[in-house]
Amino acid sequence: MLFISLLLLGGYTSAQNVDCSSKAVQDSLFESYSKKAHNYSFLDDAWGMTYDSLLALCPNIAEAYQEKGRPYIANGNYQKAFEYNNKAVELDPARWTDYRGYLNFVYTKNYEKAVIDFLEAERLSPNGFIQDHTYAFFTAISYMELGEYDKAETYFLKDIAQQKRGKGENDIHFNSLLYFGIMYYLMNEFDRAETYLRDCLQLYEQHPMANYYLALTLKVTGNSQKNIYFDKARQYILEGYKMNEPYTYVSFPRQITLYEVEKR
């Protein structure tokens, strides 16, 4: 660490004498350069240039490529975003395959690639989590969006089983129940859809999407309670309630707005 500090203080940028194969050296260098990069907005050219300096020193630091991809994710430049994230996966698949899966899932809605990445991530890190959810959660929604409902159901059940681990007393994430309900709605299995959506609302009464999709389900089945849930969805959106996923620059699958709720 002292060596790296002296190296950085001296502005010494040669790879000579730096053991880039050492994970400890990589981590230490990454931490130092990240501190520098975070002096800037990630949209500033200096952000990427800081990581370029690091990669000139050690071109095998996967995290640096991932960081370089960030501005391109935010700006919809998929070519650059995946060029850097593919490099991160190539260098450290166990660390970055799930993240690329998440990018394929939420940022490009490339559900075919998301499934491939999450299945591989599961193989590399069984029962792993990313962004508050199991890999199975993202695999399930991806299969749902691909219309492969049998597989989606299998992975929703795996997601729930994984969350119930131990004594089986843990609460299930409300968005697992939400999307399980939406899947049954899409399958025209309205009784099951209603069950899961009501279960979701037991955990998060103000969930705008759960209220909306329950309203849609009740509308199809001719249940006069539908307007109660359309009204609730509208009210809770106006009060600022959200689906409470970690912040993303783009919408989650099937995410709704006030516009859809008001159309009923």
Q: Least CB distance from residue 249 to other proteins, whole Å?
A: 5
Q: Least CB distance from residue 240 to other proteins, whole Å?
A: 11
Distance CA 96, CA 26 (A): 16
- The 8-class DSSP code of residue 103 comes to I
CB-nearer residue toward other proteins: 125 or 131: 131
CB-nearer residue toward other proteins: 88 or 172: 88
- How many of the other CB atoms lie within 10 Å of CB of 132? 11
CB-nearer residue toward other proteins: 110 or 195: 110
Q: Which residues bind other proteins (CB under 8 A)?
A: 43, 74-79, 81-83, 107-110, 112-113, 249-251, 253-260
Q: Which of 214, 220, 262, 219 is nearest to 238 (CA)?
A: 262
Q: Least CB distance from residue 86 to other proteins, whole Å?
A: 8
CB-nearer residue toward other proteins: 108 or 223: 108
Distance CA 220, CA 174 (A): 23
Q: Least CB distance from residue 109 to other proteins, whole Å?
A: 4
Q: Please, what is the Cα angle at 238 between 190 and 207, to 5 degrees? A: 35
Q: Least CB distance from residue 120 to other proteins, whole Å?
A: 16
CB-nearer residue toward other proteins: 100 or 158: 100
**Beta strand 129-130 with 133-134: parallel, antiparallel or unpaired?**
antiparallel
Q: Is the dihedral of CA 153, 159, 162, 163 positive or negative?
A: negative
